[in-house]
């Protein structure tokens, strides 16, 4: 029988930490139960493990007692890291012990999956080096600042590289759990868990839920000024060439500095500003897709659709119909 370990962090926890722990325990327990109903032996022994006898969550509202101490677990097959505080700065106290244990277990053959901001712990272990990673879109800028060499894929709901798994934000950790159930059990069991726990199966992206606020936690004042200019004039026709001239920086150097500071090219940044403005219009007004398109500075329907879908994973009309209950079914 395989062993799955659900980690219980001792410090830097968040309200969502307990949800990840309980959710993971429940889904894998459900998968085991389904296998038993099919006449098969349970696939996993499921245990919560930590470094302290108990951990406190939600300002003392809940106390959780791990079933085992990690020191007693010499070997496991799958490790699940729950979300932690988005304000993570560095591994401290008990979490350092968890990280050391993670490294050793992965070296021994265990696979490791982080849920939401649990990616901060995973990244601190060094196991994400030369791998891609997903995390809650709202924590992406902070993650990039702490781990600039890790390839962040915030549009992806799940990443899977050589036994290391990460996922996006919030309760999308449930989709990661279904993914792991299908990988370790089978598709039939994943479908069963999807129905029992009412989790949408096969979600691939979290782009639809992202809110773009810009990345300004950097020290390049020229880029900050350029960002502000783009945000103030996004509805106008702006060329990157003219933008670099406005701030007296050569085009190639301007692009390089902009990407280093924000994670986006100037054009990508402008597109995301336009799309964010369009999203708000679709959510709060009864304007047609054409009306919103012109307001945010597009005149070509095909180009607007392609950029909007690239950023959100949905067409403008589909987004409008999903998030604005009062919108009439206008046709483009």
**Residue that wins the pLDDT comparison between 275 and 201:** 275
The residue out of 208, 235, 253 marking a domain boundary is 208
For residue 37, give the CATH number of its domain: 3.40.50.880
Kindly write down the DSSP assignment for every residue of 229-246, as one continuous string. HHHHHTTS---HHHHHHH
Residue 298 CA: distances (Å) to CA of 231, 236, 294: 15, 9, 5
Task: Average the pLDDT over each of 33-42, 206-215, 219-228 and give the range with the smallest value.
Answer: 206-215
Q: Find the mean pLDDT for residues 214-237.
A: 86
For residue 233, give the CATH number of its domain: 1.10.10.60
What is the Cα–Cα distance from 271 to 133, expressed in whole angstroms?
23
Residue 320: how many other CB atoms lie within 10 Å? 25
Residue 18 CA: distances (Å) to CA of 82, 84, 133: 8, 9, 22
Same domain? For 76 and 166 the reply is yes
Q: Domain total for the chain?
A: 2
Residue 92 covered by a domain: yes
Maximum mean pLDDT: which of 110-114, 199-203, 272-276, 278-282 = 110-114
Same domain? For 182 and 254 the reply is no
| Best CA proximity match to 228, nearest among 88, 107, 220, 205 | 220
Residue 59 CA: distances (Å) to CA of 15, 67, 91, 98, 117: 9, 22, 20, 22, 19
Residue 213 covered by a domain: no
Please determine, for residue 176, whether its predicted confidence score (pLDDT) is greater than 90.
yes
Per-residue pLDDT reduced to its tens digit, 74-124: 899 999 999 988 888 766 666 788 888 999 999 999 999 999 999 999 999
pLDDT for 85 equals: 84
Q: Which residues contact 64 (CB under 8 A, 6 or more apart)?
A: 8, 18, 21, 48, 54, 55, 56, 57
Q: What share of the chain has pLDDT > 90, as a percent?
A: 48
Q: Which residues contact 248 (CB under 8 A, 6 or more apart)?
A: none
The residue out of 173, 208, 243 marking a domain boundary is 208
pLDDT for 325 equals: 66
Q: At 330, is the pLDDT very low, low, confident or very high (cuts 50, 70, 90)?
A: very low
pLDDT for 317 equals: 92
Residue 10 covered by a domain: yes
Please determine, for residue 283, whether its predicted confidence score (pLDDT) is greater than 50.
yes
Residue 173 covered by a domain: yes
pLDDT for 285 equals: 86
Please determine, for residue 222, whether its predicted confidence score (pLDDT) is greater than 50.
yes
> Are 77 and 34 contacting, i.e. CB atoms less than 8 angstroms apart?
no
Residue 328 covered by a domain: no
**Containing domain of residue 251, as a range?**
221-323
Same domain? For 47 and 119 the reply is yes
Same domain? For 228 and 197 the reply is no
Residue 137 covered by a domain: yes
Same domain? For 123 and 241 the reply is no
pLDDT for 331 equals: 43
| Best CA proximity match to 86, nearest among 123, 28, 139 | 139
Same domain? For 34 and 147 the reply is yes
Same domain? For 181 and 257 the reply is no
Please determine, for residue 155, whether its predicted confidence score (pLDDT) is greater than 90.
no
Same domain? For 133 and 187 the reply is yes
Q: What share of the chain has pLDDT > 70, as a percent?
A: 92
Same domain? For 103 and 139 the reply is yes
The residue out of 208, 234, 257 marking a domain boundary is 208
What is the Cα–Cα distance from 145 to 272, expressed in whole angstroms?
20
Residue 288 covered by a domain: yes
Residue 216 covered by a domain: no
Same domain? For 134 and 249 the reply is no
Maximum mean pLDDT: which of 52-66, 151-165, 296-310 = 296-310
The whole-angstrom distance between residue 2's C-alpha and the CA centroid of its chain comes to: 27
Return mean pLDDT, the chain. 87
Same domain? For 30 and 135 the reply is yes
pLDDT for 332 equals: 44
Same domain? For 93 and 204 the reply is yes
What is the Cα–Cα distance from 22 to 115, expressed in whole angstroms?
12
């Amino acid at each position: 029988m395989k062993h799955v370990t659900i980690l219980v962090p001792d410090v830097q926890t968040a309200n969502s930490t307990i949800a990840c722990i309980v959710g993971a325990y429940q889904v894998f327990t459900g998968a085991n139960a389904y296998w038993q109903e099919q006449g098969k032996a349970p696939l996993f022994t499921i245990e919560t493990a930590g470094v302290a006898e108990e951990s406190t969550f939600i300002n003392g509202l809940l106390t959780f007692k791990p079933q085992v101490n990690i020191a007693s677990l010499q070997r496991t097959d799958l490790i699940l890291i729950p979300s932690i505080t988005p304000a993570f700065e560095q591994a401290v106290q008990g979490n350092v012990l968890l990280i050391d244990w993670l490294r050793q277990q992965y070296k021994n053959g265990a696979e490791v999956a982080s849920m939401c901001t649990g990616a901060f712990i995973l990244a601190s272990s060094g196991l994400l080096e030369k791998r891609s990673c997903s995390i809650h879109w709202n924590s992406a800028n902070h993650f990039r600042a702490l781990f600039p060499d890790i390839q962040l894929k915030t549009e992806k709901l799940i990443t899977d590289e050589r036994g290391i798994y990460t996922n996006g934000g919030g309760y999308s950790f449930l989709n990661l759990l279904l993914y792991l159930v299908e990988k370790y059990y089978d598709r039939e069991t994943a479908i069963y868990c999807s129905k029992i726990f009412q989790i949408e199966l096969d979600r691939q992206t979290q782009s639809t839920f992202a809110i773009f606020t810009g990345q300004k936690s950097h020290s390049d004042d020229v880029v900050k000024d350029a960002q502000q200019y783009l945000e103030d004039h996004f509805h106008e026709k702006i060329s990157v060439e003219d933008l670099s001239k406005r701030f007296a920086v050569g085009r190639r150097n301007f692009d390089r500095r902009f990407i280093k500071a924000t994670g986006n090219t100037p054009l990508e940044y402008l597109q995301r500003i336009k799309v964010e403005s369009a999203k708000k219009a679709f959510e709060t007004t009864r304007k047609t897709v054409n009306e919103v398109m012109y307001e945010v500075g597009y005149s070509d329907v095909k180009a607007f659709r392609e950029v909007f879908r690239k950023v959100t994973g949905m067409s403008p009309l589909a987004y409008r119909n999903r998030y604005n209950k009062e919108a009439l079914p206008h046709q483009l």
